[in-house]
Homo-oligomer: A and B are copies of this chain.
């Protein structure tokens, strides 16, 4: 918690990113002493300049303490994967919870994925070995797995209980075996309990009873798919925030995309981005302010104005003003 001005890089990107990021900026300005540096990325800037992620944006993000990113369209992978690298993000924190008053297939869902954010199939080395054959080299290191595990142990310190480790080590014995062994051994040495679950079994079990799970540590692609599954149980991607956390900086983004069907109409739901901004505040040490923003969003979701995705008729601005009004 500091009285200095916090400089935050914002990248609205494409589609509704252009609507929800400014909404979150209003909320950030209301609770903290912040200044914004705006940067470009995504389909639109690619159409103009040929590059989805301009070097200037990459450089800004790799030097900022915190970045808030909206969404990118077709170029999403070209934007978000390098940006995760730019903040040297070793963990993607993905809370998935249902909100009171919002329709959800499993309203009791409330868990957090801690997704490995640097390797697995995302390390990206692929070869075209012949006309018929291509390969991808999936990478797992003990060091990255341990770094993630240390973070997970810190993360669960204030909760009762340890965490689950999801993997597919019965098939990927050497790589996911390494991941599992490294994570479990760090947890053991720190006195944190772990329970293993195969990623396929996890997919069944979370549907049957999501309350079995609290914190779930997983390799990169497993975290991608399983967190999107949890999103389905809480009623879609529209409410889910995320944080790409590195050692010295972090990048925050709603889990949803550009929503081209409603982009430009001013009716996008800003909640996921505003909660991502709350995570950003907490990351910078503004814990009370972060909590206040979360509470305000939750309160508005419970009985305030709603955007059309939640069955209401409110605008992005209307919801944002309601959140601002309920900040205490």
**A221 within 8 A of partner (CB):** yes
* Contact call B232/A173, Cβ cutoff below 8 A: no
Q: Which of A128, A140, A225, A226 has most B Cβ within 10 Å?
A: A225
Instruction: Give complex CA distance A136, B119 in Å.
Output: 12
In the assembled complex, which residues on chain B have CB atoms less than 8 Å from the CB atom of A173?
Answer: 126
* Contact call B141/A133, Cβ cutoff below 8 A: yes
* Contact call B201/A228, Cβ cutoff below 8 A: yes
A124's contact among B171, B201, B225, by CB below 8 Å, is which? B171
In the assembled complex, which residues on chain B have CB atoms less than 8 Å from the CB atom of A172?
Answer: 121, 126, 136
In the assembled complex, which residues on chain B have CB atoms less than 8 Å from the CB atom of A203?
Answer: 203, 225-226, 228-229, 231-232
**A302 within 8 A of partner (CB):** no
* Contact call A138/B141, Cβ cutoff below 8 A: no
**A127 within 8 A of partner (CB):** yes
Contacts A134-B175, A138-B121, A229-B229 given; does A236 touch B224 at CB 8 Å: no
Which one of A13-21, A204-212, A285-293, A319-327 contacts B? A204-212
* Contact call B134/A168, Cβ cutoff below 8 A: no
**A185 within 8 A of partner (CB):** no
**A199 within 8 A of partner (CB):** yes
Instruction: Give complex CA distance A229, B206 in Å.
Output: 9
In the assembled complex, which residues on chain B have CB atoms less than 8 Å from the CB atom of A237?
Answer: 204
Please give the count of copies of this chain that the complex contains. 2
26 contacts across the A-B interface (CB closer than 8 A): A77-B171, A81-B171, A105-B106, A105-B207, A105-B208, A121-B138, A121-B171, A126-B172, A126-B173, A128-B178, A132-B143, A133-B139, A133-B140, A134-B175, A134-B178, A135-B137, A168-B221, A200-B224, A200-B225, A200-B228, A204-B229, A204-B231, A205-B232, A207-B207, A225-B226, A229-B229
Q: Which of A190-205 contact B (CB under 8 A)?
A: 199-201, 203-205
In the assembled complex, which residues on chain B have CB atoms less than 8 Å from the CB atom of A131?
Answer: 142
Instruction: Give complex CA distance A105, B203 in Å.
Output: 13
**A174 within 8 A of partner (CB):** yes
Supplied contacts A132-B142, A134-B177, A136-B140, 12 more A-B pairs, CB within 8 Å: A105-B207, A121-B138, A126-B174, A132-B143, A133-B141, A135-B137, A137-B137, A137-B138, A138-B138, A204-B232, A204-B237, A208-B236
**A170 within 8 A of partner (CB):** yes
* Contact call B124/A204, Cβ cutoff below 8 A: no
* Contact call A174/B128, Cβ cutoff below 8 A: yes
**A233 within 8 A of partner (CB):** yes
Identify the 8 closest CB pairs spanning chains A and B, nearest first.
Answer: A207-B232, A126-B174, A203-B229, A200-B228, A204-B232, A136-B138, A203-B228, A136-B175
**A76 within 8 A of partner (CB):** yes
* Contact call A77/B137, Cβ cutoff below 8 A: no
Instruction: Give complex CA distance A233, B177 in Å.
Output: 29
**A155 within 8 A of partner (CB):** no
In the assembled complex, which residues on chain B have CB atoms less than 8 Å from the CB atom of A141?
Answer: 132-134
